[in-house]
Every structure is written in C-alpha cells, then in structure tokens.
Structure 1
C-alpha cells in the first residue's frame, strides 16, 4: 500500500470504504466484534502446515509462512494469509514445484542470474536476496535477477532483509498483466511493485513498498462486492477510458498506472511499471508482459515470473549515510502538518504502527470472513484449524 494517496473528487462513504485504508477495510481493521486475534506463532504454524500438507518442503513452507504472517503483521493483508489458498492451489495443480530448489546459473563478483525452478516465491526470493547481500558485503553491490519464480508476497520483505544488515535493499517483481498502459486499452503490465529499505539510526529505516498501479486489483474487487463505485484514477473500461464502475475494470478493462490519467501524470506510473519489467522479465529472461499467465483461472500454468534483488553497502559511498537518512526522516516527521491533517509520516511508519498494534493485541487481527475461509481450507487439507485467542 502506498503511503500517500490523492483523490481528486469528493467521495461518498461507500467509496471511501473502497480505498482500502487500514482503519476501514483491511482484514485486520474494523470492529472487534467481527474480528479474531490469532497469535503470530499460531498463524505461522497454520500456514506452514497447510503448505506441507500439499507437499511443500519444510524449509520452503516455513519461508512462505514467515512471509505471509509478516505481511499481515505489517498491515498488508492483501498479501498475507489472504494469499495462502492461491499458493496451495498452485502446488496442487503443479505450476509450483515442491521437488526442486533455486539454483545459480551465472555469477560475477557483483551480479547473478538465478533459476527459481518454479519453487515457491518466498524460497526463490530469499535465496536471491541473500545472494545479493553476500555480494554487497564482498564488493559493495549485489544485483541478482531471477526467472522461474512465483508470486513472492510483499516486495518490502526482501528489501528489509538487506536493511537489517545495514545495507540498502531493493526488490522488484513482475506480475500477471492487470495494468493498462497510458493511452492503451489492453492489460499489458502487472502491478509491478517497487521496494526500497534504507537504514537510519537505532533500528529506524525508510521502507517504501508500493505498486506502480494506482491501486491493487483486490480493492476493486472489494468495491464490486459492496456494489460501490471506485474513485477516479483507479481503472479503465474496455475502451481504455476511465471508469468508476468496478465491473468494467474487472471485466475487459484494467487498472490504471500510478497517477491515473495522462493529464494527472499516469504516464509516470506507466514508465515505472515498464522499468520494473526491464529489471525483472527482460533482464532475467522470464515471461514478461502479456506472456505471463492470467491472474485468475490458470493455476495449472507455470507463472515463470521475473524478479530483481539489489543490495548496496552505503559505507562504500560518503560516510554518514545513516545519520543523513535519519535527519531527513526526522525533518519530515517533525514538520507542521497541513491544516486538518495528522502528523506527517515517511514510508514504513504505517507498518511500524501496525506492528505495535499486533504486539499490543497479542496477535494478528483477522476478519471473521478470513478466519472462516481458513477453517474451510484446514478441513479440506486435514490440517488443525487456526486457533484465535480465547
């Protein structure tokens, strides 16, 4: 979720619900009466056992479970437990392999090409980012491109692996085509996220994790379920023109690039999405653009996603990186906010607040609908159900 979101026209309450703000519509938001708090370890246990039940190796299942629960704990519910069933189906239908490991195909002192061999995305991503970190520690920069990967969850999870070791971390992935280029009418690019994590002082950090489309497809689906209109700038109809009807977007239309229409700068989001595709699909030799399988109904088709992982040692450049990073973040946080606005934040602050809330509650707050869906999955897989706190 992007940290800042501009809406050009006043919205009704129902439209505001569709913006996906954590305090309103996230699986972990809303009234306590329709939510259950699940301890982090229990959520992780459940996800891991579900994946192992369909054949995933214990290490691979553990990596994927850790990522899913981390996403939920950080407030990115669209990429947490909500995605577990998708990973299960991919394994069941053979598009995700459980009998392989990522492997190094080409390597130099600072670059590498990885073949993910269609393993779980978290397994490919962790292998690749850890390789980038190793190279950055040895030569200052590590740049790793991977092909043969799958949906890898939140991009920021990989960038943070580098940041936790005092490095700058960057992570990118291509995705199923959901985004229509500026002036176009066909979905060509994915939501193609960008993540950057940069260390400040005393464990503080700048953590940008954003899609290059204006919104996620799941938020359009939410508006459809609520029979609500979507805000301007979210999507286009079959003719390529902006629409407020989620059914047109989900039918033969598509998402708009970050920025919306051309006049409001959507061509910049389109350019960023293309940049991610260059880093991922074009550089790695994976599927790209319309060659990637569709988002819905193709679990039996290998995704062969392309991904890019970069680690940079700031100590190879001007001294005092963390101090300057901290000073910039502090200046923004401490500045006087706009009239009627709350405090100014920097990328990563909403996630930090959410992590504190998880700690306060003693677990992740899941909507009853999600808990029910996971109960059905547990019954199907003969896995002990996820147990909320009493």
Structure 2
C-alpha cells in the first residue's frame, strides 16, 4: 500500500486543530493548548499520539463525554502536594494545570506532587515532564489508560499501557527525557502499522482475545490487547505489569479516579466519562548536590561516546535522529 505524504506548515496545522475544536464549542485557550500538545507529539515522531487523536477528542466532546469550558479545581493542598479534580476537561488542559502547580510547589518546597481525577487522555507524557526540565527542575508525569493490556498469564485485559515519563535538564537545551509505555508498545503504534496496510507486527507487541501472543495487528486491535513490557512471564513481562500497577496506584488509586478494569474503553464506550487519573512529580535538584546539570551533561556525553558495534550512534532518551 502506497501512502502519499505531504508536509504541512506548522502554523497551518495549529490553525486546523484549533479551529476544529472551536467548531464543536471548545474554549479557544483550551483548543490552543490541545493543538500544541498533539502537534508536538507528531514533531517528535509519536504519530500514535499526535493529530491522529483529534477525531477521538471531537467524538467525546460532541457526545458530551468531555467538558468544553472551565478549569480544574484544587480539592486539597498540603505542603508540597495538591489533589485536583480535572472536572472532565480536555486532558491537555488538565495536565498543564497540574504540572504548573507541581512546578510551583517544587520551587517553594523542593518537591511537588499533584494527583488528579476526572481527567481525560492527555497525549504524550513528556510534554508535561519537559515543562519541568525547561524550568531547571526534574519532572515526572504518569497516567493510567483504558484497560488495553493483559497481565502475565491473564486471559482478560485489566491494565492500561500506563506510560511513564522523566525529564531532567542538562546544559543548554540538552536533556534526558524518557517517555515510555509500560507495555511493549502503545496501542496507537499498532494502529499506525495497520493504517499503513501492514498486518504483521513484531514479537511481544500484542495478544489475541485470550491473552496469547499474536503477530496480527488485526487480531490485536479487534478483540485482543497489548502485552506488558518484557512480553511473556519468562522474558520479564512481570516487570512490565509491575510498573503498570505502580502507575495505576500513583494515578488511579491515590487520586480517587477510576482504575484497572473500571476505566471505560475509550474508543468504544459512550456510557460515561473517562475519569482518568494522572500524577505529576517535580524535584528541585538544587536541594541536593551542586552542579546537577553539569554532572548530568557529563553522564550523557559519556553514554553517547561509548564504543559502538556498528555505525549506528548510541542514543540517549529524548534525542531524535
């Protein structure tokens, strides 16, 4: 299958996304934040989380599953922590609000942690963790998701892809920025493969409806699901499920949001809101040993300069070819 490609001007793409959201009643400032988030995902090569997700956002808005106006609410505030109600707003709006609050708390207390309930899909996690690194801080962001993955040895889906992100500032514009699902791949990555007319997917990406490994994108997307990071039990899949459960505790359990099997299936369920939970952690490195950015840059450079087995350079998380 041959897919034609066309390069779209950045400003035109922003205008398209913003106008699309405004046309269904979304507040202009909410539309702009969401456009920035989606397009950044595409610019980073995360096409599964980019503008391709816009139709899903519009679907939820037009079906009254996501609120178009308003602000998140702080329910509880103690020391360097805050508990937030996202009030079912677009995930980008909720995520930005929460990370800005976590940054503010870290600048005062050295550490800031914000959890939120009643949120929605908030795009790539690194959008938020890099807000902290841009401020000279260490940032982490997590979210739970619809139960699209299988625990090791389970025959029903009960966990999400539950991504983790961590960003830390080095010298200048350099940084370490990790953004990863706790499944082998994100669900959208298999969707991207299928849109290219390909059905065969790599080992340990997905499973059929019984939780057995499958290399068919169609089978995985139809009634199957994702496999945890590490794949089967014997290849370390229990580590992926352990990390996914850690994220679920930080995002769903502690925040009062839905968790595990209780989260709706995003693309198919129109019976209620997503009620996703998210967690944002920020650390001020100046509270610890001096010269953090210098030391991190030294470590990054050391890693990049390791001897290689081929002409392929050694990559550090956050660097794109």
TM-score range, shorter chain: over 0.9
Shift of 1:320: 1.8
Between the two structures, name the one with larger relative contact order (CA 8 Å, sep ≥ 6). Answer: 1
Q: Compute the displacement of 1:227 (Å).
A: 4.9
Contact 1:131 1:144 in 2 (8 A): yes
Moved more, 247-256 or 169-178: 247-256
C-alpha distance 222-130 of structure 1, shift in aligned 2 (>3 A): closer
In structure 1, the partner of 2:295 is 324
CA contact (8 A) 1:173 1:305 kept: yes
Tell me the equivalent position of 2:7.
37
SS in 1 for 2:158: coil
Alignment pair present for 1:135 and 2:105 = yes
Aligned length: 320
Deviation string 1:319-356 (CA, Å, 9 cap, x unpaired) is 12111111111011111112x35010100111xx4xxx
**Per-residue CA shift, 1:270-308, capped at 9, x if unaligned?**
111111001100010001111111132224520010000
Match of 1:64 in 2: 34
| Unmatched runs of 5 consecutive residues or more in structure 1 | 1-13, 15-29, 354-390
- Are residues 192 and 230 of structure 1, via their aligned partners in 2, closer, same or farther at CA, if it must alter by over 3 Å? same
Q: Which of 210, 229, 236 is the aligned partner of 1:265?
A: 236
- Give the whole-Å Cα distance in 1 for the aligned partners of 2:172 and 2:307: 24
- Distance (Å, rounded) in 2 between the aligned partners of 1:71 and 1:247: 25
* Separation of aligned partners in 2, 1:185 and 1:46: 42
User: Which residue pairs with 1:84 in the alignment?
Assistant: 54
TM score, norm. by length of structure 2: 0.96
Q: Secondary structure at the match of 1:277?
A: helix
Unpaired runs of at least 5, structure 2? none
After TM superposition, give the deviation of residue 309 of structure 1 in Å: 0.6
Change (3 A) 1:36 1:251: closer
Q: 1:320 to 1:227 in 2, by over 3 A?
A: closer
Q: Is the 8 A contact 1:89 1:299 kept in 2?
A: no
2:250 aligned partner: 279
The question of 1:97 aligning with 2:67 is answered yes
Report the CA distance between 1:37 and its aligned residue.
Answer: 1.3
CA RMSD of aligned residues (A): 1.6
Q: Residue in 2 aligned with 1:385?
A: none
Q: Whole-Å Cα distance in 1 between the matches of residues 198 and 285 of structure 2?
A: 49
Question: 1:336 touches 1:343 (CA, 8 Å); kept in 2?
Answer: no
Aligned partner of 1:10 in structure 2 is: none
The 5 A counterparts of 1:114-263 are: 114-224=84-194, 226-263=197-234
Secondary structure of residue in 2 paired with 1:286? coil
Q: Which residue of 1 aligns with 2:277?
A: 306
Q: Give the stretch that moved more between structures: 279-288 or 237-246.
A: 237-246
SS at match of 1:114: strand
C-alpha distance in structure 2 between counterparts of 1:44 and 1:237, whole Å: 37
Task: Confirm or deny: 8 A CA contact 1:93 1:300 kept in the other structure.
Answer: no
Distance 1:192 1:271 in 2: 11
Q: What is the CA distance between 1:249 and its match in structure 2?
A: 2.0
Distance in 2, Cα, partners of 1:222 & 1:59: 29
What is the DSSP-based 3-state SS (H/G/I as helix, E as strand, rest coil) of the residue aligned with 1:138? helix
- In 2, Cα distance between equivalents of 1:261 and 1:82: 30
Q: Give per-residue Cα distances to partners, 1:249-273, cap 9 Å, x unaligned.
A: 2233211001111111111011111
Preserved CA contact (<8 Å) 1:135 1:141: yes
Residues 343-387 of structure 1: per-residue CA shift (max 9 Å, x gap): 10100111xx4xxxxxxxxxxxxxxxxxxxxxxxxxxxxxxxxxx
CA distance in 1, matches of 2:110, 2:296: 19
1:288 and 2:255 equivalent?
no
